[in-house]
Structure 1
Amino acid sequence: MLLNENSFETEDKLTAQIERYADRCVNNSCIDPSLYDVYNVKRGLREKGGKGVLTGLTEIGDVHSFEVVDGVTVPCEGQLFYRGMNIEDIVNGFIAEDRFGFEEVTYLLLFGELPNAKRLENFNNVLASFCNLPSSFVRDIVMKATSKDMMNLLARCVLSLYSWDDNPDDTSIPNVLRQSLSLIARVPLISVYGYQSMRHYHYHDNLHIINPDPKLSTAENILRLLRPDSSYTNLEAKILDLALVLHAEHGGGNNSTFTNHVVSSSGTDTYSAIAASLCSLKGPRHGGANVKVKKMFDNMKETVNDWNDDDEVKNYLKGILDKRLFDQSGLIYGIGHAVYAISDPRAKLLKSFTKKLAEEKNLMDEYHLYENVERLAPEVISKAHNRKKSVSANVDFYSGFVYSMLGLPDELYTPMFAAARMAGWSAHRIEEIINAGKIIRPAYKNVAKPTAYVPLNKR
């Protein structure tokens, strides 16, 4: 349609009208904050002390961040457990044997036990059988209506896979497991293909669509598909594998997994439940945080002259808290966690390998800057907010740096989180179905005042 001056005038009027509507939304939707205390509402499903409200039971993942000593809750070094096993033991186990761990961890999360060598081989073969996409799916779904946001594209593609499933609505465990395994194998492919298509259609880059190698691990195939020459070092593949392992599961209370439980409790199909989790993970308060960390450091490197000058780094961090620098949010991204206080075990594990990769990439100056911020940020935050509660680096703090060293574009940071968390989401969906109870439906207290209806001609 051709646009003329009247078209632009109409558009301006429409924009102005929508802004007036928005003002009415704001004016008539503000709830008195004191009412949350009056009605004892757990905002964000959290107690006043920050502890989550208990809404369910699980045997899949567990997070330890405090101990009770003489009846007093005391923060402790963070620990993460997959099916009762400490993540540090799991990671140290497959690293000591120089193996990839994501597939093994996926088996553990789904079936509740570690596989022996034969079962792991069979499981890898099953995943490999799903490591493809339906005929014409890349052309007709991934490449058409490409999105600059990969999480939106992922959600759309996952929903579209419903149409290629001969039995999409069957919620029996064998069928849901089949669907889950196919998505665990396919989400990495869709992520990379979606990015390649976006770069081609929006930025005119060359289009590289490379087939996965069924003999390779998930981490190896991601790097193989992403790079035009399909090359990667062993260390690159191993640290990406570690990142996938550490993002695979984090208990039932995180936003995207809880979303999965809520949606699954309605009896809906697997594709809808996973798409809902993807939409949750997209948010910068959840899976999008690692991109924010990377962009924050990009800005810091341009702003701070001497990366090793503690005072200069602290002044930059203070500027962030004062909402003067970076995105004016007042948040130092990658520092602090809703559950962990003293330490995030995932950050500790990832940090040790981050240094090795930084040495390989000759990026030790950047690595030391990350170390400096990790050391100084808790002090700056404590002084700025006048509080004793400790904060520490979370997994997003180093994962963004790792992804950037691997050459992963910003657009794929959160999809990599999603590719990993597919394992945990699938396990939780199956657990929700097996232990099916009532649909999850919490209460909301209506605090609006009764209002009489007024006829149109009297308003």
Structure 2
Amino acid sequence: MEKNRFTEITPEIQALAELCKENGSINPELYTKYEVKRGLRDINGKGVLAGLTEISEVRSYTIVDSEMIPCEGKLFYRGVDIDEIVGGFIREKRFGFEEVTYLLLFGDLPNHEQLDAFKKMLANYRTLPTSFVRDIILKAPSSDMMNTLARSVLTLYSYDDNANDISIPNVLRQSLQLIALFPMLAVYGYQAYSHYHDGNSLFIHAPQPELSTAENILHTLRPDSKYTELEAKILDVALVLHAEHGGGNNSTFTTHVVSSSGTDTYSVIAAAIGSLKGPKHGGANIKVVQMFEDMKEKLKDWTDEEEIERYLVALLHKEAFDKAGLIYGMGHAVYSLSDPRANIFKKFVKSLSEEKGRTKEFELYSMVERLAPQVISRERKIYKGVSANIDFYSGFVYSMLDLPKELFTPIFAIARIAGWSAHRIEELINAGKIIRPAYKNVAKGRPYIPIDER
């Protein structure tokens, strides 16, 4: 096969890359010397304070006598406990993502009339411009749906007569349209990829205005548009739990940083998508699923605790799976004792595993969730507790919903666009200085050498 000169890594490129590495390495001791908080977090995982927000709170510790005491993780949307939010709409037998989106954007829980009007508004915005699917999505299918999503968002700029207007009414209008369109952009992008790359039949189902966001995802994704009530309910819960997670997570901080420059909504959201795509952020649940696939293949007995422990130790010692030394889905940058989203999700995972006939896999996940913290604390020096995060179960849920892996991270984006939009609007309302932290130069000065003397 002829080499692609645009993607080939030539020996010249390889040699220059080595030069980059040779002259680009910074002595790790300098970070300590100059008290640089790498990742903008201290050694205990506490984030460096970079801003204020009223949109959500991630709580992982309490203060007792001026001392930080780890506590069970809590997540609040606009001051309301996520446990109570999920419990409320599940108890009242309705979908919650649209309600949560309203809460994040406008600061209050909607009443019946406000919620109905909001859902109708989203339904009206859920139509792509004429020929957009044909001309933009179908003509340039990508193997990565996050790239498809980002490209589609940037292209929508060309269809907006007021694209550069950053007044709050206009940004809100743009945000609502993007929230409504994200499911279509992601699913249609996947359908194009599935058709042109895998040779499957092409299905482009129009969204139904009376369906929720979760229902429309399943309706447009599946060839027969069929789904069970439990499937739609659990996907809706997943969207609610992923909708927002404080201003400091990587993609939301990206939203604040890029918004602070005064640029347009489409550029901001495309940047946030690029951040979320990373395997250390939104792409982590795919790694969890792949790790468990390897585990199921290697284990002789899924119920043998000692055999499972040996596999987990091998993971940490870089002897199993991808040899990265990580147990994916365990641990979080902020939470220590527990991730409240994982705790909520687990309640629904069991019932879905029973409906899908995959209870043995659920039991394996549960055992790994219990054993992994013990293994990590024994094998590694850790500064705070370790528990399962939401990525631990979300990939398993998506696989049970027969969602293709290509859509795992886009589902995250479909949810998080609600939080990004709320934070962008908050940044613009409280517009201050452009966000520009300092980086200290540690290279030594040296004289210029004429080219003939080098």
Answering whether residue 285 of structure 2 is matched by residue 290 of structure 1, we say: yes
Answering whether residue 279 of structure 2 is matched by residue 263 of structure 1, we say: no
Shift of 1:389: 3.2
Answering whether residue 301 of structure 2 is matched by residue 309 of structure 1, we say: no
Q: Distance in 1 between matches of 2:9 and 2:299?
A: 43
Q: Distance in 2 between matches of 1:84 and 1:285?
A: 28
Q: Quick one: which amino acid aligns to residue 429 of structure 1? A: R
SS at match of 1:64: strand
Q: Distance in 2 between matches of 1:38 and 1:393?
A: 33
SS at match of 1:28: helix
The residue that corresponds to 2:364 in the other structure is 369
Q: Distance in 1 between matches of 2:381 and 2:251?
A: 32
The residue that corresponds to 1:402 in the other structure is 397
Shift of 1:47: 1.6
Shift of 1:387: 4.3
Shift of 1:33: 1.0
The residue that corresponds to 2:187 in the other structure is 192
The residue that corresponds to 2:239 in the other structure is 244
Q: Quick one: which amino acid aligns to residue 51 of structure 2? A: G
Residues 326 and 218 (structure 1), Cα distance of their counterparts in 2 relative to 1, 3 Å cut: same
User: Is the Cα contact below 8 Å between 1:100 and 1:217 reproduced in 2?
Assistant: yes
Q: Matched residues, percent identical?
A: 64
Q: Distance in 1 between matches of 2:392 and 2:9?
A: 42
Q: Quick one: which amino acid aligns to residue 263 of structure 2? A: T
The residue that corresponds to 1:67 in the other structure is 62
Give the TM-score normalised by the residue count of structure 2: 0.98
The residue that corresponds to 1:278 in the other structure is 273
Q: Distance in 1 between matches of 2:373 and 2:9?
A: 47
Aligned-residue CA RMSD in angstroms? Answer: 1.5
Query: Matched residue pairs, number?
Result: 454
Answering whether residue 3 of structure 2 is matched by residue 29 of structure 1, we say: no
The residue that corresponds to 1:172 in the other structure is 167
Q: Distance in 2 between matches of 1:231 and 1:434?
A: 42
Bigger mean CA deviation after superposition, 138-147 or 361-370: 138-147
Counterparts of residues 203-214 of structure 1 (less than 5 Å): 203-214=198-209
Answering whether residue 380 of structure 2 is matched by residue 380 of structure 1, we say: no
After superposition, the C-alpha distances for 1:123-149 in whole angstroms (9 at most, x for unaligned) are 000000011111111111111221101
After superposition, the C-alpha distances for 1:263-313 in whole angstroms (9 at most, x for unaligned) are 000000000000000000000000000111111111111111111100011
Q: Distance in 1 between matches of 2:155 and 2:139?
A: 12
The residue that corresponds to 1:99 in the other structure is 94
The residue that corresponds to 2:128 in the other structure is 133
SS at match of 2:115: helix
Answering whether residue 393 of structure 2 is matched by residue 434 of structure 1, we say: no
Q: Distance in 2 between matches of 1:228 and 1:361?
A: 19
Residues 253 and 451 (structure 1), Cα distance of their counterparts in 2 relative to 1, 3 Å cut: same
Bigger mean CA deviation after superposition, 68-77 or 398-407: 68-77
After superposition, the C-alpha distances for 1:179-226 in whole angstroms (9 at most, x for unaligned) are 000000101111000001001111111101100001100000000001
Gaps of 5+ in 1: none
User: Is the Cα contact below 8 Å between 2:44 and 2:383 reproduced in 1?
Assistant: no
Gaps of 5+ in 2: none
After superposition, the C-alpha distances for 1:145-186 in whole angstroms (9 at most, x for unaligned) are 211011111111100000011110000011000000000010
After TM superposition, the runs of 4+ consecutive aligned structure 1 residues lying more than 6 A away are: 10-14
SS at match of 2:71: strand
Shift of 1:390: 1.9
The correspondence for 1:18, drawn from 9, 13, 19, is 13
Q: Distance in 2 between matches of 1:129 and 1:110?
A: 18
Q: Distance in 2 between matches of 1:266 and 1:437?
A: 10
Shift of 1:49: 2.2
The residue that corresponds to 1:322 in the other structure is 317
After superposition, the C-alpha distances for 1:43-102 in whole angstroms (9 at most, x for unaligned) are 111122221000000000101100111222110000000000000000000000000000
The residue that corresponds to 1:156 in the other structure is 151
Residues 54 and 12 (structure 1), Cα distance of their counterparts in 2 relative to 1, 3 Å cut: closer
Q: Distance in 1 between matches of 2:258 and 2:381?
A: 40
Q: Distance in 2 between matches of 1:122 and 1:409?
A: 33
Q: Distance in 1 between matches of 2:290 and 2:177?
A: 33
Give the TM-score normalised by the residue count of structure 1: 0.97
SS at match of 2:24: coil
The residue that corresponds to 1:90 in the other structure is 85
Q: Quick one: which amino acid aligns to residue 369 of structure 1? A: L
Q: Distance in 1 between matches of 2:367 and 2:143?
A: 33
SS at match of 1:365: helix
Q: Distance in 2 between matches of 1:335 and 1:230?
A: 34
The residue that corresponds to 1:458 in the other structure is 453
Q: Distance in 2 between matches of 1:349 and 1:299?
A: 26
User: Is the Cα contact below 8 Å between 1:382 and 1:388 reproduced in 2?
Assistant: no
SS at match of 1:305: coil
